[in-house]
Amino acid sequence: MERPLTQNIKPDGSPARLEDYLHNGGYEGLRRAVKDLSPLEVQAAVKDAGLRGRGGAGFPTGVKWGLVPMGQSAGQKYLVVNADEMEPGTFKDRLLLEGDPHQLLEGLIITAFAIQASIAYIFLRGEYVLAAERLRQAISEAEQSGHLGKNVLGSDFSVEVHLHTSAGRYICGEETALLNSLEGKRATPRAKPPFPQISGLWGRPTVVNNVETLCNVPHIIRKGADWYRTLSRSSDAGTKLYGVSGRVKRPGLWELPIGTPVREIIEEHAGGMQDGHRLKGFLPGGASTDFLLPQHLDVPMDFQAIADAGSRLGTGTMIILDDKTCPVRMVLNLERFFARESCGWCTPCRDGLPWVVQVLEDLVAGRGRAEDLPLLARLCRTIGPGNTFCALAPGAAAPLGSALTHFRGDFEHYLPRAARVA
């Protein structure tokens, strides 16, 4: 089984240096791009490969790039790497950033070439101190070896890269909030349209791509779209970093063919549940995805199959709910997170999330009322898709709404006897 994204990552956690990276075919994709291909040919290759964004939304990467204006009149364009990994339960980009920073840089340089952006920013969360150190080292190595900067590998193409280390707030991961943050402002999201590809950083065409997404690009360019499509076990293409956290025997992260069934990830790779614990449910792709149940264990972890099961692939890092953890308290933990991290820009999110938290707190404190459960269901619609500027509050509604459906009894259990509906 091929593991292109993690092939250079060492078990001891030390980073792949430039010589390691070059030894394993590193920067060959970049050489091919700038020497043999036009920017539009690079875009076409990524489109043909069927790469979909790995940050959570799953938008086709080549299509995203295709919306950027090209040609002489397009003016200044930007590429931004979203390395603001902060989705609870998600720890995949950290591995790629710390373990193989040149792979990200190669993906970044090829992508900048494909959309003809001369300036790129890596937006890194402030707490990823080790990743920052290794990225700085890799940027300097890539500049000195002619892979980055003026006239990349002797071509006409030049690109500069700046590392921006952030200062907290989950909302920065939302791509338009990220752009405001990069402009030095409060990280509130922007209305779409216009989409960043047309009007992004300082109103210029901008592509924002996730770390894992960009790490796929060098391999696609080097080995081709046909090869890339053979890596998967489903209609989606390539490999995916899958993670498992919670009460399993071996929590961790593995690069596997996209479409690997949930059961295989939890039972073979994560070693199954810890002794004395049974699987009650799981969030397949981070905190803002709907709960799935043991009956979904044989669902392939890809975009369509997880959507058909009623959730989202999200970041592909699962959070396990075991039978000794209370789903209501777990949801309370999640909603407290979303309430705290709301940027406060739009009303359903700013006021709705604390309301949800208050109702849940009352419920677990034994002060629940019979009307609280329908109220929570109604609040899920208020904060849900279509009513907010960005996906934060709809993301918060996902685990709450699905828990209300799947774990109804656990919610009712907290109602005082008098409040229970017969």
Partner 1 sequence: MHTNTQGLSAVEIEEIRTEMSHYADQSAASIEALKVVQKHRGWVSDEHLKAVAGLLDLSPEELDGVATFYNLIFRKPVGRKVILCCDSVSCWMLGADQVRERISHRLGIAPGETTADGEFTLLPICCLGACDHAPVLMVNEKLYHDVDQAALEDILERRAGAPLK
Residues that bind partner 1 (CB under 8 A): 76, 85-91, 93-94, 125-130, 162, 164-170, 181-187, 202, 243-247, 251-253, 287, 317, 319, 322, 325, 330, 333-334, 336-337, 340-341, 343
Task: Using the minimum distance from each CB to partner 1, give the nearer residue, 32 or 125.
Answer: 125
Q: In whole angstroms, what is the distance from residue 343 CA to residue 346 CA?
A: 8
DSSP string, 150-169: SSGGGSS--BEEEEEE----
Nearest distance from C-beta of residue 288 to partner 1, angstroms = 11
Nearest distance from C-beta of residue 94 to partner 1, angstroms = 5
**What one-character DSSP code corresponds to residue 15?**
P
Nearest distance from C-beta of residue 139 to partner 1, angstroms = 12
For residue 392, give the nearest of 96, 140, 87, 179 by alpha carbon. 87
Count CB atoms within 10 A of the CB of residue 422. Answer: 2
Task: Using the minimum distance from each CB to partner 1, give the nearer residue, 67 or 130.
Answer: 130
Nearest distance from C-beta of residue 93 to partner 1, angstroms = 8
Nearest distance from C-beta of residue 85 to partner 1, angstroms = 5
Q: In whole angstroms, what is the distance from residue 291 CA to residue 282 CA?
A: 5
Task: Using the minimum distance from each CB to partner 1, give the nearer residue, 85 or 372.
Answer: 85
Nearest distance from C-beta of residue 152 to partner 1, angstroms = 19
For residue 54, give the nearest of 16, 115, 107 by alpha carbon. 107
With beta carbons less than 8 A apart as the criterion, state whether 67 and 47 touch: no
Q: In whole angstroms, what is the distance from residue 343 CA to residue 358 CA?
A: 18
End-to-end CA distance of the chain: 55
Nearest distance from C-beta of residue 255 to partner 1, angstroms = 14
Nearest distance from C-beta of residue 159 to partner 1, angstroms = 14
Q: In whole angstroms, what is the distance from residue 388 CA to residue 383 CA?
A: 7
Task: Using the minimum distance from each CB to partner 1, give the nearer residue, 85 or 141.
Answer: 85
Nearest distance from C-beta of residue 222 to partner 1, angstroms = 28
Task: Using the minimum distance from each CB to partner 1, give the nearer residue, 109 or 171.
Answer: 171
Nearest distance from C-beta of residue 246 to partner 1, angstroms = 6
Task: Using the minimum distance from each CB to partner 1, give the nearer residue, 136 or 162.
Answer: 162
With beta carbons less than 8 A apart as the criterion, state whether 171 and 187 touch: yes
Task: Using the minimum distance from each CB to partner 1, give the nearer residue, 35 or 340.
Answer: 340
Task: Using the minimum distance from each CB to partner 1, give the nearer residue, 47 or 249.
Answer: 249
Task: Using the minimum distance from each CB to partner 1, give the nearer residue, 170 or 228.
Answer: 170
With beta carbons less than 8 A apart as the criterion, state whether 104 and 97 touch: yes
HSE, side-chain direction, 13 A CA sphere, residue 252: 14
Query: Is the preceding omega at residue 394 within 30 degrees of 0, hence cis?
Result: no
Nearest distance from C-beta of residue 230 to partner 1, angstroms = 29
How far is residue 86 from each of residues 56, 90, 247, 296, measured CA to CA in Å? 12, 7, 21, 26
Q: How many helices (H) and strands (E) does the chain have?
A: 17, 8
Positive or negative, the CA dihedral 344, 349, 352, 355 is negative
User: Angle 347-364/327-341 helices, nearest 10 degrees?
Assistant: 150
Task: Using the minimum distance from each CB to partner 1, give the nearer residue, 87 or 174.
Answer: 87
For Cα atoms 143, 144, 147, give the angle at the middle one, nearest 5 degrees. 50
Task: Using the minimum distance from each CB to partner 1, give the nearer residue, 334 or 376.
Answer: 334
Element (H, E) at 319: strand 317-322
Q: Which residues of 163-176 are buried (b: 16+ CB within 10 A; e: fewer)?
A: bbbbeebbbbbbbb
